[in-house]
Amino acid sequence: MKDPQGQDGQAGLTSINTRTGRNMPQAIATGAALVILIVLCLLARPDAFMFLIVVFMTLGLWELRVDFATAGLYIPVVALWLGSAGTMLAMFYCKDHLGAMTAGVLLTAVIASLASGFQGQGGQRLERAVLGKTRLLQDGQRAGQSQRHAYNGYANMTVTLLTVLYITLLACMIVLPTTFGEHPVAHGAMTVFLPAVSDIGGLFFGAFLGRHKLSPRISPKKSVEGLAGSMLSCVVAAGVIFVCTYPVRDLGRTWWVAILLGAMVGVTGTFGDLSASLIKRDLGIKDMGHFLKGHGGVLDRVDSILMSAPFITLLLWFTGL
């Protein structure tokens, strides 16, 4: 006999997956594993957190290489790997963190831009990844082949510079707050977890309360209610981080920073999500990658973190926290 309760439960789960646009059991399991990994690295030592970000940055650069290749655009991933990792290491270990980061980003931009004009169409591994993205038609041609273009070197150089800004610079901004102040663990938690909370708050508030579309042309599932949920969730999360990490005697003068930080990240996190959605829409892809089950790719998971990182860094810097 069929189990009505089981069928109802499956129908409910399917409904939730449809409203959120994700496989929620997979997303929750993957998210929990990531939280544990990040917390362990933060508690171990700041450089463990830095090396973890380098790993994610390396995976994200590969994803972006495949994504651009589906549209006929090519970026020099090896040069970007070396330059981005070198920039991160120099920024973290040099005494002049900001100067080292600036020099590393500029040097990476110059070298990668020059390399973008000399690379070929990519090897077999890239070809297989692109085929996996676009799927195969029965005649062996790529889906959407007629819409692809053979871009010139200037177009490749442009997307290479975009990659340096989007990945190298913003990823360094995630780690930069751990190099100043007396609370590196708190700073690292803010740069990673507040944007993640923004995603979760917007996801659930939008799924259950969303009525007014925020940007239907870019991301049909985003809603004004979801944005409000992101901001509210971030304010609460920022308050929890402040209470758990800063001395109680300091809360009387820092409470407003937690509120401002939470509200700001709710907005910047949503903007980061929309920016990534715009890139995917222009490239004609659904997910940036497939490394994280239930979340798409690494870049799908960190888009809001990347966009929020410079704003969090600047606020912490100017308030002296």
250 touches 296 (CB < 8 A): no
Within 8 A by CB and 6+ apart from 188, the residues are 38, 42, 46, 49, 175, 177, 178
Report the pLDDT value the prediction gives residue 233, as an integer from 0 to 100: 92
Distance, CA of 194 to CA of 174 (rounded, Å):
12
Query: Phi/psi of residue 142, each to 5°?
Result: -70, 145
**Contacts from 274-279 at CB under 8 Å and sequence distance 24+?**
274/214, 274/215, 274/218, 274/219, 274/222, 275/303, 275/307, 276/300, 276/303, 277/218, 277/219, 278/218, 279/67
Q: What is the pLDDT of residues 131-179, one digit of tens each?
A: 555 553 333 344 444 344 545 678 899 999 999 999 999 999 999 999 9
Helices 46-69 and 251-283 cross at an angle (nearest 10°) of 20
Q: Can you spell out the DSSP letters for 42-106?
A: HHH-HHHHHHHHHHHHHHHHHHHHHHHHTTT----HHHHHHHHHHHHHHHHHSSSHHHHHHHHHH
Instruction: Using the structure block, give the residue that is written with the tokens 């090519």.
Output: 74
Helices 97-116 and 153-163 cross at an angle (nearest 10°) of 160
- Mean pLDDT (the chain) is 81
Q: What is the pLDDT of residues 224-272, one digit of tens each?
A: 888 888 999 999 999 999 988 888 887 888 889 999 999 999 999 999 8
Domain extent listing, the chain? 45-179, 183-321
Distance, CA of 221 to CA of 212 (rounded, Å):
10
Mean pLDDT of 50-75: 91
Apex CA 300: angle with CA 180 and CA 186, to 5°?
A: 25
Within 8 A by CB and 6+ apart from 157, the residues are 113, 116, 117
Q: What percent of the chain shows pLDDT beyond 70?
A: 77
Q: What is the pLDDT of residues 289-311, one digit of tens each?
A: 666 554 567 888 888 999 999 99
Q: Tell me which residue of 75, 47, 49, 71 sits closest to 60, measured CA to CA.
A: 75
Distance, CA of 174 to CA of 167 (rounded, Å):
11
Amino acid identity of 59? Answer: L
Q: Tell me which residue of 12, 310, 306 sits closest to 163, measured CA to CA.
A: 306
- Out of 25-34, 98-107, 211-220, 291-300, which region has the weakest mean confidence (pLDDT)? 291-300
The whole model's pTM is what? 0.82
The per-residue b/e assignment along 223-253, b for 16 or more CB within 10 angstroms, e otherwise, is: bbbbbbbbbbbbbebbbebbeeebeeeeeee
DSSP label of 296: B
